[in-house]
Structure 1
Amino acid sequence: MKYVPAQVVHFLRQRGAKRNLGALARFMFALLGLITLYSIVFHYVMQYEGREFSWLTGFYWTLTVMSTLGFGDITFHSDLGRLFSMLVLLTGIVCLMILLPFTIIQFFYAPWVEAQSAARTPRVLPEQTQGHVILTSHEPVSSALIRKLEQYGYDYVLVCEEIDEAMRLHDQGVRVVLGHLDDPQTYANARADKAVLVATTQNDVINTNVTFTVRQVNATLPVVATAATATSIDILDRAGATHVLHLGEMMGKALARCMVGGDAVTHVVGGVDDLLIAEANAQRTPLVGKSLRENALSEMGVSVVGIWDRGRLKSATPDTVVGEHAILLLAGSAAQLATYDENFVIYNVSVKPVVIIGGGRVGQAASRALSTRGVDWRLVDKESRYVPEGERGIVGDAADPDVLKRAGILDAPAVMITSPDDSLNIYLTIYCRSIRPDIQIISRATLERNVETLHRAGADFVMSYASMGSTSIFNLLKRGRVLTIAEGLEVSRHAVPESLAGKTIATCGVREQTGCSILGLRGEGGVLEINPKADTSLQAGREMILVGSSDSQAKFLDVFVEE
């Protein structure tokens, strides 16, 4: 009901509203005049028959006959009276059952429904709107990005071309604006001059059109576009995109980093200035079965900020034991990571090829990433056009045991499932696990809701396409202060609060009270000290770099900054 006043105002402001109300009023006056005329004639006909009734009775009889109720308590005895009754009845049928409903629908109800729709799907945002993100589609990546924007308090608006879709999304709680993606006025109406980012995740052709159109409205507004092919990256750059994300390539590389086959060295996944975050496989290394305290990785200068265990990111404490399927999330400088690599380069070397199921963009990108690492692979796909020639390409159905055996699944250290169909990936995960209970299974998930299902199906590591895409876009939005390394893990910068000034890292209680770890401190000369020692003193105003989950970061602000 809170929208009713806005709908009434919008309805009355429409150019045809007053005209429609006037037409409805004229019809009602004409109907009232006709009822009055029939009531007068009723008296004359009754006098003709020698009977007398009150004026109120005349109106009563006219309304009952015109509405076809016909109680039968008052009737004419003469043919003239019956002929008059038939005329009143037919007039009532035409006026009350045909013309009146049509008039109300045409001149009142339809405009009212249109006003309701317009109130739910505006074409113009309020003039005071600013600091928002403009989106162009509602697919998995944008949906995940919307949840992330809402979590961090960022305003946004989604441009919809179809009013039915706009109303459906509005009813789901999504803020929408109606307009054509190729119309500059749409972005002017969406207040692109005051926005902080445009993220377009349509196909390459539409993304190019959107980017070029936005540039007509705002030449400096950051535009992030996704690209399905390498060719489109250059075209989008020329159209004016600030950042182009080749998500298929990014997903393939990310999945390839999680493969146990090939090496146990570090692979950088992100960083803040000179501080790098890297992943390293622990399988078949001396780290397995020991706690982080026993492994003493800090002596190499690196910090373990988290551990991927069968696709779940766990916090790292000194007593955390490194499991057989663990992938370490390490923090350190380039030199510190190089020291780690020198100690573990001899481990986890496998000569057996890994199996890649699916020869699409993600599978092709993964194969290139594995080749760069020196890891052999076999690619399986039903379509011959998606597989390379020679022994590396296997044409056939991955659900066929003979096909997987030809690909070498009985000896492979890992299998990667890269299909965009989550249902198929779940099926293949269960199937591969039944063939090889000990193999590492890496799977892609298009939708975030299927990540847990794939884990239950037997996947050791699952990466969500939607989560990766939304995180990449969100990092570009918050690149100044916060970097999301993985789902739920963030690296952030803060000035040392007064509440921590003078305390050491060991005694400040940051880790114990919030779950965050201090990875770096910037000195007065701007030099970043990476992985500072526990006895390092915190000085007010110096910049500190924290790593922790989203909840841990929020708790740090509550406990130490906002107190």
Structure 2
Amino acid sequence: MPGISWSSRFDDLSRRSRLIVYYLFGLTALVLTYTVIYNTGMSVLEGREQSIFRSFQTVTETMTTTGYGADSPWESPWMNLFMVFMQLSGIGVGFFTLRVIVIPLFTGAEVDLDSRLSPKNDHVIICEYDRDSAVLLDELEQLGIDYVLISSDEEEAIDLSDEGYSAIHGSPQDAATFERASIGGARAVITDADEATVDTILTVRSVRPDVEVITLTDDGSLRDVLLATGADSVLSPRAVLGQRLARKAMSLYTSELHDTVGVAEGLEVTEISVSRDSPLDGTSIRNSRIRERTGANVVGAWIDGELQLPPDPDAVIGPNTVLLVSGDHDALEELGETARPVRSRGRDEGVVIAGLGEVGRAALSVVEGESDVSATTVDIVEGPNTDVVGDASSRDTLREVGVEDAGVILVCVPNDSTALLTTVLARSLNPDIEILVRMSDARATTKALRAGADYVLSVPRISARMVARELRGEEVLGAGSQIRIDRVPAEPFAGKTLADSGIYEKTGCRVIAVEHGGELTTSLDPDRTIAAEDRLVIVGTDEAVQRFLATFDVSPRPLAG
């Protein structure tokens, strides 16, 4: 990008990469110096004139011990001594090459992960993150937040480092590990070390008392203990996930909007799912006349588990379609009432909760807060809140728990395969039931939608979004959403039109607004010329936005302000 010097790019290289650059420059300088000395010696001491290229060939043959060509033997003692010196230095260079470059690249030899780190400052240190590290690290990279991941599992640390992530091996209960991770310049420490979390917090405070500590836990009862130990904030992703699933279920009976993002004054973006009793069900995007009816713009749509951005005008809206829309709050509320009309709940229609772990218990607490909603629970382990003991992925168990007459089922089981089977069986027993699913693997979200789920949240994605919100102070869409919004500089597209920018073709992202001179324009002309000082508001999947940031080498900026 313009304005970035070669020196700053070099400073951003890891220590290992800089060592390789130094090595290559040094080797080149050494060979060229030997070539000049040898060519001069052959002329002055041996009385043999030859081209500099012939001397370069002889020096290369000598240093690599592949032969000496037709130049040998040499008569002068000084030339013989020089040739011996070149041979010895060539052997030394060979050993150095093997140790520093060849062996780490082509064998499983031990490597120094610390040497791969680029210089760190104003970064985040992450300890023992076990909720799919790549999802969180990708989230931080998208936000332009530098980081170091500490893992006590050496194999995991090496695998992450080999994939290009900034990871080192060490114990987060060892102060020296934090020193290696440059805690002196860190902005925050994130710890997810299970039973070792308290030990980790105390270690961090002993090294640097003033650094912000963000703690993740799956046991909400430990919140006060962790805060008293020294954590600045405590996040419980699974509890939040369960609460969001339950609130989403309760929203079936209200027109209230959830998880809207304010891009600017008068412009919000949100996802709205379409229910089976909606007048939009069965209509095409083109014939839905959503903009004419409500004033909201359809930016994209999840149809049959696949994102269309922008959506095909002839694509048919179904009961599992999720519309990504933008507009003012009133327009989005009106669309929400159209897409999800408030349902009249039958006398016996209730909510089934499958799985009473941390997610299921959190969901149950929300449902129980609704005085007129009956909840029936099923779990493989008997407990105080378990109505039916059994396997939720069994057809007989689902019948026993009342899925055939229920209005909603929250699938909160921890195993993804079990969750998918439960989803399929619930849909077969009750085609009209609303199915909301928790997934442990972010990559399984699409599978759940294809299996018949109406709404899906994944633990890794919601965890990463919660951490990002703590660090950045804003949401980029709902924590469980598979869509994100970012505001990015427009310098790479200066002088081009929106149509010619290639943003969608190269990345899969879509521009939904352009900010110029402090004013935000949402009605975009494809032939509008982009100015260098503009800022673009883009929307896309997490992967698409990551691809955009990498392709055009830009960093996102806060949506607010």
Normalising TM by the smaller chain, what interval? Answer: 0.5 to 0.7
Does the Cα contact within 8 Å between 2:270 and 2:477 map onto a contact in 1? no
Change (3 A) 1:162 1:306: closer
Does the Cα contact within 8 Å between 2:513 and 2:524 map onto a contact in 1? no
Mind listing any 5+ residue stretches in structure 1 that lack a counterpart?
7-115
Change (3 A) 1:514 1:358: closer
**Where do 1:10-49 residues align within 5 Å?**
none
Aligned to 2:283: 290
Partner SS, residue 412 of structure 1: coil
Aligned to 2:197: 207
Partner SS, residue 267 of structure 1: coil
Aligned to 2:358: 361
C-alpha deviation, 1:446, in angstroms: 1.3
Aligned to 2:429: 435
C-alpha deviation, 1:456, in angstroms: 5.8
Does the Cα contact within 8 Å between 2:351 and 2:376 map onto a contact in 1? yes
Aligned to 2:538: 546
1:159 has 2:153 as partner: no
Does the Cα contact within 8 Å between 2:492 and 2:552 map onto a contact in 1? no
1:227 has 2:217 as partner: yes
Aligned to 2:189: 198
Distance across 1 between alignment mates of 2:259 and 2:308: 19
Distance across 2 between alignment mates of 1:314 and 1:150: 25
Matched-pair identity in %:
28
What whole-Å deviation, never above 9, does each CA across 1:250-284 have from its counterpart, x for those lacking one? Answer: 21134346548434653225444655433323121
Distance across 1 between alignment mates of 2:154 and 2:509: 45
Aligned to 2:178: 187
Distance across 2 between alignment mates of 1:127 and 1:398: 48
Partner SS, residue 311 of structure 2: coil
Change (3 A) 1:386 1:246: farther
Distance across 1 between alignment mates of 2:196 and 2:282: 51
Letter in 2 for 1:358: G
Partner SS, residue 404 of structure 1: helix
Aligned to 1:144: 135
Distance across 1 between alignment mates of 2:393 and 2:203: 46
Partner SS, residue 289 of structure 1: coil
Letter in 2 for 1:381: D
Aligned to 1:15: none
Partner SS, residue 244 of structure 1: strand
Partner SS, residue 437 of structure 2: strand
Change (3 A) 1:483 1:262: closer
Aligned to 2:335: 340
Does the Cα contact within 8 Å between 1:182 and 1:210 map onto a contact in 2? yes
**Where do 1:458-473 residues align within 5 Å?**
458-473=452-467
Aligned to 1:217: 207
**Which residue of 215, 234, 237 corresponds with 1:247?**
237
Letter in 1 for 2:203: T
Change (3 A) 1:136 1:173: same
**Where do 1:350-389 residues align within 5 Å?**
350-351=345-346, 352-370=349-367, 376-387=374-385
Change (3 A) 1:139 1:229: closer
1:326 has 2:316 as partner: no
Letter in 2 for 1:387: N
Change (3 A) 1:386 1:292: farther
Does the Cα contact within 8 Å between 2:493 and 2:530 map onto a contact in 1? no
Change (3 A) 1:231 1:277: farther
Mind listing any 5+ residue stretches in structure 2 that lack a counterpart?
1-15, 20-106, 556-561
Letter in 2 for 1:463: L
Partner SS, residue 336 of structure 1: helix
Distance across 2 between alignment mates of 1:440 and 1:469: 24
Distance across 2 between alignment mates of 1:171 and 1:544: 33
What whole-Å deviation, never above 9, does each CA across 1:474-527 have from its counterpart, x for those lacking one? Answer: 455566896686665321113455956797x89988668865444445575x57
**Which residue of 402, 408, 416 corresponds with 1:422?**
416
Partner SS, residue 352 of structure 2: strand
Partner SS, residue 383 of structure 2: helix
Change (3 A) 1:301 1:512: farther
So what's the TM-score if we normalise by structure 2? 0.63
Distance across 1 between alignment mates of 2:333 and 2:404: 34
Change (3 A) 1:356 1:536: farther
Partner SS, residue 359 of structure 1: coil
**Which residue of 291, 303, 308 corresponds with 2:302?**
308
Distance across 2 between alignment mates of 1:291 and 1:548: 22
Does the Cα contact within 8 Å between 2:280 and 2:339 map onto a contact in 1? no
**Which residue of 441, 448, 456 corresponds with 1:447?**
441
Letter in 2 for 1:249: A
C-alpha deviation, 1:465, in angstroms: 1.4
C-alpha deviation, 1:362, in angstroms: 0.9
Partner SS, residue 278 of structure 2: coil
Letter in 2 for 1:191: S
Distance across 2 between alignment mates of 1:307 and 1:560: 27
Aligned to 1:110: none
C-alpha deviation, 1:208, in angstroms: 3.8
C-alpha deviation, 1:357, in angstroms: 0.5
Distance across 2 between alignment mates of 1:219 and 1:307: 47
Does the Cα contact within 8 Å between 2:299 and 2:324 map onto a contact in 1? yes
Distance across 2 between alignment mates of 1:317 and 1:174: 34
Distance across 2 between alignment mates of 1:542 and 1:239: 46
Change (3 A) 1:506 1:332: farther
Distance across 2 between alignment mates of 1:414 and 1:481: 28
Letter in 2 for 1:159: I
Letter in 2 for 1:491: I
Change (3 A) 1:294 1:169: closer
Change (3 A) 1:472 1:309: farther
C-alpha deviation, 1:286, in angstroms: 0.8
1:398 has 2:429 as partner: no
So what's the TM-score if we normalise by structure 1? 0.63
Change (3 A) 1:333 1:153: closer
C-alpha deviation, 1:410, in angstroms: 1.0
What whole-Å deviation, never above 9, does each CA across 1:15-68 have from its counterpart, x for those lacking one? Answer: xxxxxxxxxxxxxxxxxxxxxxxxxxxxxxxxxxxxxxxxxxxxxxxxxxxxxx
Does the Cα contact within 8 Å between 2:388 and 2:400 map onto a contact in 1? yes
Distance across 2 between alignment mates of 1:412 and 1:170: 48
What whole-Å deviation, never above 9, does each CA across 1:65-90 have from its counterpart, x for those lacking one? Answer: xxxxxxxxxxxxxxxxxxxxxxxxxx
Aligned to 1:28: none
1:409 has 2:409 as partner: no
Does the Cα contact within 8 Å between 2:160 and 2:167 map onto a contact in 1? yes
